[in-house]
């Protein structure tokens, strides 16, 4: 079993996750968006009518699979445990900010890497901002930033999120209560049960490898440790091979369902990186931890759902560019203001979390 926690094992598991991700792309998930935690949570929020953006409404089985996969494997390994540290309003706010900034970029860190594997230059631009946000978060971590120590709670409390998403998934396939897009990204999806299977496999692997896009890059920057990065490299390599082999690799200013506004690609991913560091994990990691019993992550995921609703109800999400028509795309003025306000709030939370720790030790 030690092999799976070493770099070669993590690389192999990442490659397996990449194969299923490539399968989702092949089976017609949105172009350049085989799997995206932020965009898919946004689609689910639309399906449940938290927002009325008709192009992005679909209850994504992949998200259900990720949560249930993490739940199943954490139970089997004995790692499942219901816990929480409080600071609920802050965690909901962090989730909402992480989502709003991700929708200005048009993707979470997972999708950023997938876009990079397709030659999308705007994704590499976003990576610059993401690393900048992580670097700022590391400054706060070194000053002792924390939102409180996790305490054990009733084990039954940890079952809430897995049970809820399972019930919602059944509703989505057995009834017509949820909205479904007839055009746009929400209308593009792989077959339901392959999507669920791919999500399950991805969730299992993400739980076992501790996959976290913010955590992996943070460890490289903070400890010079690239171990966690190996599973992400595995996904990138498989998706690069898939894109090259299927003709989807194209070095361009921005790919499908992306935009070329350099400043706001950097600024928005700066916000995502900082929010992920302060929240203790990227959007994917929050889903995995919520499935493993973390009340803190459950509140962060709730914040992400609310953030998706706010982003689309108030025109904060960016508009994709159209390369063939020389349309760069990007966020509206309200979206730009939202990113600036988000970064200011995040800096305030970082200072507050560091000061609180310092004050308690004096």
Q: What is the pLDDT of residue 358?
A: 57
pLDDT of 261-270, one tens digit each?
Answer: 999 999 999 9
Q: What is the pLDDT of residue 248?
A: 94
Residue 83 forms beta bridges with which residues?
A: 152, 294
**Other Cβ atoms within 10 Å of 15 Cβ, number:** 19
**Domain limits at 303?**
2-361
**Other Cβ atoms within 10 Å of 31 Cβ, number:** 15
Nearest to 340 by CA among 276, 281, 266, 288: 266
What total number of domains does the chain contain? 1
Q: What is the pLDDT of residue 360?
A: 54
pLDDT of 48-82, one tens digit each?
Answer: 999 999 999 999 999 999 999 999 999 999 999 88
Q: What is the mean pLDDT of each run of 10 residues along the chain (362 residues)?
A: 82 98 95 92 98 96 98 94 85 98 98 97 98 98 90 82 98 97 95 98 96 97 96 98 96 94 98 98 98 95 98 97 89 98 98 74 51
pLDDT of 74-114, one tens digit each?
Answer: 999 999 988 888 789 999 999 999 999 999 999 999 999 99
């Amino acid at each position: 079993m030690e092999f799976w926690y070493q770099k070669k094992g993590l690389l192999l598991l990442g490659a397996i996750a990449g194969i299923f991700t490539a399968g989702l792309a092949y089976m017609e998930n949105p172009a350049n968006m085989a799997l995206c935690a932020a965009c898919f949570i946004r689609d689910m929020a639309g399906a449940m009518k938290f927002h009325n953006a008709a192009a992005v409404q679909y209850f994504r089985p992949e998200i259900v699979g990720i949560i249930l996969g993490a739940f199943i494997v954490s139970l089997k390994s004995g790692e499942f445990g219901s816990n929480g540290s409080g600071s609920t309003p802050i965690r909901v706010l962090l989730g909402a900010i992480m989502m709003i900034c991700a929708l200005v970029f048009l993707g979470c860190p997972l999708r950023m890497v997938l876009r990079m594997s397709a030659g999308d230059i705007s994704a590499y631009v976003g990576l610059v901002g993401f690393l900048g946000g992580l670097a700022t978060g590391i400054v706060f971590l070194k000053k002792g930033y924390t939102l409180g120590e996790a305490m054990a709670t009733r084990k039954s409390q940890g079952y809430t999120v897995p049970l809820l998403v399972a019930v919602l998934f059944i509703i989505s396939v057995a009834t017509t209560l949820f909205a479904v897009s007839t055009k746009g990204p929400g209308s593009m999806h792989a077959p339901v049960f392959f999507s669920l299977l791919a999500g399950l496999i991805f969730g299992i692997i993400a739980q076992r490898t501790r996959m976290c896009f913010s955590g992996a890059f943070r460890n490289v920057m903070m400890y010079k440790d690239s171990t966690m990065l190996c599973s992400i490299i595995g996904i990138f390599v498989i998706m690069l091979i898939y894109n090259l082999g299927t003709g989807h690799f194209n070095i361009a200013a921005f790919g499908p369902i992306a935009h070329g506004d350099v400043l706001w690609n950097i600024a928005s991913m700066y916000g995502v990186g900082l929010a992920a560091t302060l929240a203790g994990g990227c959007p994917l990691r929050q889903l995995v931890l919520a499935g493993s019993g973390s009340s803190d992550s459950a509140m962060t995921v709730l914040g992400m759902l609310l953030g998706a609703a706010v982003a689309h109800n108030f025109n904060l999400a960016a508009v994709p560019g159209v390369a063939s028509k020389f349309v760069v795309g990007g966020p509206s003025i309200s979206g730009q203001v939202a990113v600036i306000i988000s970064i200011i709030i995040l800096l305030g939370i970082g200072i507050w979390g560091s000061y609180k720790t310092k004050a308690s030790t004096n």
